Amino acid sequence: MPRATAVRASGTTHAAGKPGEAAFFDVDNTLMRGASLFHVGRKMYQRKVFTIREVAGFAAKQLRFTFQGENLKDVHAVRDAALAFATGLSSEDVRTLGEEVYDEMIESKIWPGTRALTRQHMESGRPVWLVTGTPIEVASVIASRLGLTGALGTVSEVADGRYTGRLVGEFLHGPAKAAGVQALAEKEGLDLQNCWAYSDSYNDVPLLTLVGHPVAINPDARLRRHARERNWPVYDFRSGRRAATLGLKSATVAGAGYGLWRGFSWVRDR
């Protein structure tokens, strides 16, 4: 099957850095609070594509995702519904929808600590790529708005400018993320042992173990245990939680500082 399509953001510039280095960020619960795909479903309801009952189901799944971590069954349910109802829509309309979703629902949910990490990498001259199961149209908007290098996302089939309701290749999740990053590394001449990857989900262990510098952000319970056993850095930017760091890397000082400040503020307020 075709691998994930990487879309490069326009107008992005990098400082001089070491050749072969890059950073890869998951989006949902890593870069932003909650799941971006659920917001796409909410926006489609506003466009009268979904019913209120369907959106209520999306909202329940979003709450579970935010507080319990990734549930693949829920993510697939929203994906399948979005694919079915997007059939016949024009690709240009979906791109516009992505812009609206970012402005109205995603921008305010970006974790400041993770945003600081992306800036640190960009200022060090490392390309920063988003790697997410979110539709590539939405993922590329997020990357562009944040001034990142680009995005790898799930690709839907388009024929005559309209969506067919089928995927091109796989849903970008789990091992498919690792395969997408591997293909991008070959294309871009990256040395994955000199690259970073960030995620909240145990399902992304294939991606995290692919690089030399894996980092867990807002991890679910399984990933937290996995990271601690391997002495990976762990950052938790969620309100009311301890910000823990293990094995700090030079490129992640900004994010760690933010996390420690949040942890200190939480203790002080109590």
Is residue 103 among the annotated active site residues? no
Read off the pTM.
0.75
- Report pLDDT digits (tens) over 83-104: 554 666 677 777 788 898 899 8
Q: Which is the catalytic residue, given 26, 74, 220, 236? A: 26
- The reply to whether 269 belongs to the active site is no
Please count the residues of the chain. Answer: 270
pLDDT at 269: 47
Higher pLDDT, 205 or 87: 205
Dump pLDDT digits (tens) for 158-169.
788 787 777 776
pLDDT tens per residue, range 29-87 = 999 998 787 777 676 666 655 555 555 554 454 445 444 545 555 555 555 555 554 66
Res. 13: pLDDT tops 80: no
The rounded percent of the chain whose pLDDT value lies above 90 is 42
Residue 206 has pLDDT above 70, yes or no: yes
Could you say which of 28, 74, 200, 236 is catalytic? 28
Q: Which pLDDT score is estimated for 71? A: 52
Who wins on pLDDT, 259 or 28?
Answer: 28
